[in-house]
Structure 1
Amino acid sequence: MAEKDNPLYKFATAIYYIIDTPVTFIREKFVVPNQKKYPWYHQQYRRVPTIDECYTDDVVCYTEANCQFMRDKSVEDEILFILRSRFEQCAFYHGDDDYLCDDLRKTYDDATAAWFAKYGDMGIGLNVKNAYMKQKHRMIWERRHGPVGSGMRDQPTKA
């Protein structure tokens, strides 16, 4: 006898659909359309224009861009903290077998390198304008000499 011909199976399936059909209908027709698309549980700030979109004499735009930059930095600091904590916990748990944590180590090292490329060597003058100038100078350097860390070319190319 096939499973679908079994009376117990038919009874269980009927009970399942009696309970599931109204629940699925209400969820699909009322709950899901009225949900927020991104249910965040922390404060969300609107993205403001970046420093390269501001006029030179627009103090309000500069201040908003600087606040956005500082918020982004604090988020990236917390991401690094979480990645470092995960790696340290993995290394502590596995002890001598820390090769099991190589993927976490690589992720943390990549994130650290990206953080340093953006915020490193900024000193006390950490603001959006100095970070923008650092990014501009790095791009000019890479255009003339190749990627940073690869050594200088023999003949710099004209920018």
Structure 2
Amino acid sequence: MADDKVDPNLSYNKFIFSVFKVLDAPVTYFKENIVTPLHNRNKHYYYHRRFNRVPTIDECEVDEPLCIFEANEQFKRDRGVDANILKILRRRKTECMMYNGHNAPQKCQKVTEDYEKASTNWFIKYGDLGAAATVVHAFMKQKHRMIWERRQIEQGTGKVLR
């Protein structure tokens, strides 16, 4: 007997669904046939912006301010990326130490070594430069380090004087 009764909401639902289909069909067609193929052809991930590498400061002429400016911007981006990598490694080390507790020295050895190596390399490249350092300061630091290392080697023997 309940099957003979007509559901009053059924015709209303059919009407609403047909209106939805009429409004949705062009949008879906546009998305599937135009937008999606364009996205598949030109995949750009917004969170991995790539900048073209520019000449470094040692490749710039002395009187070329645009090249020096671009090299300085490149240096700032590289320093920021290296600092964030170091921050991630530091966080991994801290989380490993907290998670493993008293077993941390054995279980977190690889993470600790990675962090120590990265922090040493970061300090060699950017340490003691300060917040307002430019690419020229970093280049001079590198030059002075190379001169210092060259002076530490005995002439002709290849042995380090320490």
Shorter-chain TM-score bucket reads 0.5 to 0.7
Counterpart position of 1:157 = none
Counterpart position of 1:104 = 111
Kindly provide the CA deviation profile for residues 92-148 of structure 1, in whole angstroms up to 9, marking residues without a partner as x. 0000001200110000000000000000011254110010000011001101114xx
Helix, strand or coil at the partner of 1:96: helix
**Alpha-carbon distance in 2 for matches of 1:41, 1:121:** 31
Unaligned 5+ runs, structure 1: 1-33, 147-151, 155-159
Out of 132, 153, 156, the position equivalent to 2:161 is 153
Counterpart position of 2:91 = 85
Structure 1 position 64 matched with structure 2 position 70: yes
Q: 1:144 to 1:108 in 2, by over 3 A?
A: same
Q: 1:41 to 1:139 in 2, by over 3 A?
A: same
**Alpha-carbon distance in 2 for matches of 1:52, 1:108:** 30
TM-score (norm 2): 0.66
Structure label with greater radius of gyration = 2
The letter of the residue matching 2:152 is H
Counterpart position of 1:12 = none
Kindly provide the CA deviation profile for residues 54-101 of structure 1, in whole angstroms up to 9, marking residues without a partner as x. 000100000000000000000001000100111111110000001200
**Alpha-carbon distance in 2 for matches of 1:65, 1:72:** 10
TM-score (norm 1): 0.67
Aligned length: 117
Which protein, 1 or 2, shows the higher relative CO under an 8 Å CA cutoff with sep ≥ 6?
Answer: 2
Give % identity: 47
Q: 1:122 to 1:94 in 2, by over 3 A?
A: same
Q: 1:35 to 1:126 in 2, by over 3 A?
A: same
Q: 1:85 to 1:131 in 2, by over 3 A?
A: same
The letter of the residue matching 1:114 is N
Structure 1 position 123 matched with structure 2 position 123: no
Unaligned 5+ runs, structure 2: 1-39, 154-159
**Alpha-carbon distance in 1 for matches of 2:48, 2:110:** 29
Q: CA deviation at 1:43?
A: 1.4
Q: 1:124 to 1:91 in 2, by over 3 A?
A: closer
Q: CA deviation at 1:39?
A: 6.2
